[in-house]
Amino acid sequence: MLPEKLRELGPACYDCHLQDPLELTFKKDHLEKGLEMIGKKDPSRQELRILACAQCHITYSVPKDKDNQVAGDVTMPWRNGQWGDISIEGIIDVLLTDEFRLEWVQEITGFKMPFIRHPEFELFSRGSVHFKAGVACADCHMPFTRSGSYKISDHDVTSPLKADLRACAQCHTQSKEWLTDQIFHTQDRTTSLILRAGYGTATCARLFETLHQAQAKGAAVDNAVYSKAKDFYMQAFLRIVFINAENSVGFHNAAEAGRVLGDAVAFAGKSESLLRQLLAGVGMDPGLEVALDLGETLNNRGEAKLNFRPEQEFTDPFGIQDKLLSEHAKGL
Ligand code: HEC
Ligand code: HEC
Ligand code: HEC
Ligand code: HEC
């Protein structure tokens, strides 16, 4: 039925199709429950071309009990959302309210953390230009293609860049160069902000580590200031994870990605200033630049002893990050 080279797709046919006729559908229980949370009923055919992908390309929690054992079915943090409006603010609120969503412990800070996983659907559907224009995931990732005399959907689901941007040409008359530039410009801007938010958040993590060490030796800190600093840290951290775990590097919704990362930078800055205030209160001065010692976390990882590889580092396309943080402070 499908040409041989298109039969390599990871998901099974029946993840997305009814058996007979091969109509588009979605099968996952968790998505049904998620759609109930956001008040979505009777999706149109074009919406099914989004929801077939949203079976997997969404964030979810794996509920954990007190001993960190799996304790229930996967569930989405969508209860504050609506179709077309699942915000990061709403997601974070749910993640930090439901204790069972804290799935792992961050080594440096010792904080219990929730996960955010590949939220392509959430970012894309929150008012992106394409979502508003009624464009579906399949329009860009499964463009129509010819097989003999048949017109079929390309089942080699991949980056439109790898597919020669044929998908875009279904609607856009601009040149391939122009379209490629649009994608890369958006991704460059997003990358620059990811670095700003990431290094800002990492700085706070190191300051928490230092503060916790002082507390372990008996230093007393103001609880109200501490919990504000922690809340701002979590707000920054979860925003950066949201955009980093989303796989389009901003393209699916450039304006929203910029907004979320800008807020992450603001929360991290606020957290850092509160942490410096707390450290000053116990007679400690972290100095002009906080040593991140990234080598400590990036080198010698796991059984394979993986190391940082400079050729894989994403540097700031605009050079701003280099002005804010020295190589010495990075500690690579
Ligand atoms: C990730 C979801 C997904 C998976 C998995 C998938 N398809 Fe599809 N398929 C689609 C979408 C989207 C369309 C376009 C349907 C539409 O717009 O109504 C489609 C359309 C089709 C069509 C109609 C003709 C066409 O291409 O538009 C056939 C036939 C088909 N798929 C066969 C298969 C077979 C066989 C498999 C397993 C090898 C499979 N599909 C796996 C998403 C999927
Ligand atoms: C059953 C789960 C599932 C469904 C349904 C699904 N995906 Fe995926 N998708 C994955 C997983 C898992 C990966 C990562 C696979 C890998 O790394 O090899 C992936 C990878 C991708 C990639 C990157 C592929 C590459 O070349 O590296 C794209 C693009 C993508 N999916 C888009 C879509 C779109 C669009 C749809 C709906 C038409 C869809 N996916 C439906 C699970 C799914
Ligand atoms: C307007 C076109 C368009 C729409 C609509 C769209 N995408 Fe994308 N998507 C892109 C582009 C462009 C990229 C960036 C590709 C790259 O960097 O190689 C991308 C990247 C991705 C990636 C990462 C691919 C990789 O190679 O790493 C995944 C996964 C993905 N999209 C899934 C989705 C899902 C799921 C939806 C719907 C919720 C969706 N996309 C809607 C154009 C689109
Ligand atoms: C199904 C039709 C469709 C497809 C496929 C499509 N687009 Fe679009 N795109 C639109 C529409 C509609 C708009 C809204 C603006 C307009 O009317 O031109 C738009 C707007 C844009 C914009 C301007 C965004 C902004 O913020 O104002 C860019 C850039 C863009 N598309 C790039 C792409 C790229 C790259 C692809 C392929 C990966 C793609 N589009 C695929 C229909 C499409």
Architecture of the domain defined by 29-128+177-330: Up-down Bundle (1.20)
- C-alpha 29/C-alpha 34 separation (Å) is 9
Ligand nearest to the CA of 165: 4
d(CA 237, CA 81): 21
Best mutation site among 14, 16, 18, 147 for ligand 1 pocket (most ligand atoms within 8 Å of CB): 16
The pLDDT score that the predictor gives to residue 2 is 58
pLDDT given for residue 146 in this prediction: 87
Tell me the per-residue pLDDT of 196-230, one tens digit each, with 9 for 90 and over: 999 999 999 999 999 999 999 999 999 999 999 99
Q: Count CB-CB contacts under 10 A for residue 281.
A: 15
- The string of DSSP letters for 258-315 reads HHHHHHHHHHHHHHHHHHHHHHHHTT----SS----HHHHHSSBTTTTB---GGG---
**Cα 158 to ligand 2 centre (Å):** 7
Question: For the stretch 208-236, what's the b/e string if a residue is b when 16 or more beta carbons lie within 10 angstroms of its beta carbon?
Answer: bebbeebeeeebebeeeebeebbebbbbb
Give the separation between CA 259 and CA 239, rounded to whole angstroms. Answer: 10
Rounded CA separation 62/149 (Å): 46
CB 290 within 8 A of CB 206: yes
In short, whether 44's Cβ falls inside 6 Å of ligand 1 is no
Ligand 4 atom nearest to CA at 180: 35
Residue 205 in contact with ligand 3 by CB distance below 6 A:
no
Residue extents of the structural domains in the chain:
29-128+177-330
Instruction: Give the model's pLDDT for residue 116.
Output: 97
The pair of three-digit structure tokens given for residue 151, joined into one six-digit string: 């017109």
Residue 283 pLDDT greater than 80, yes or no: yes
CB pairs under 8 A, 24+ apart, for 42-49?
46/134, 46/136, 47/136, 48/24, 49/24, 49/136, 49/137, 49/138, 49/139
Assigned token pair, 164: 């020669």
- Which residue minimizes the CA distance to atom 25 of ligand 1? 152
- Answer whether 76 contacts ligand 3 (Cβ < 6 A): no
Which atom number of ligand 3 is nearest to the Cα of residue 125? 38
Q: Measured from the CB, is residue 11 less than 6 Å from ligand 2?
A: yes
Ligand 3 centroid – CA 139 distance (Å): 10
Q: Is the CB of 159 under 6 A from ligand 3?
A: yes
Q: Is the CB of 129 under 6 A from ligand 4?
A: yes
Reading the block at residue 263, the tokens are 């807020």
Cβ–ligand 2 distance for 245 under 6 Å, the answer no
Residue pair 92/235 in contact by the 8 Å Cβ criterion:
yes
Asked whether the predicted pLDDT for residue 69 surpasses 70, the reply is yes
Rounded alpha-carbon distances, angstroms, from residue 182 to 161, 187, 282: 12, 9, 50
Give, in order, the Cα–Cα distances in Å from 188 to each of 115, 222, 249, 319. Answer: 25, 40, 8, 11
**Residue 21 preceded by cis peptide, ω within 30:** yes
- In eight-state DSSP terms, residue 160 is T
Among the listed residues 167, 202, 201, the one whose alpha carbon sits nearest the alpha carbon of residue 183: 167
Torsion of CA 317, 323, 327, 330, to 10 degrees: -90
Instruction: Find out whether the beta carbon of 248 lies less than 6 Å from any atom of ligand 3.
Output: yes
How confident is residue 172, by pLDDT bands cut at 50, 70 and 90? very high
| 135 CB near ligand 3 (under 6 Å) | yes
Average pLDDT score, the chain: 94
Residue 6 has pLDDT above 70, yes or no: no
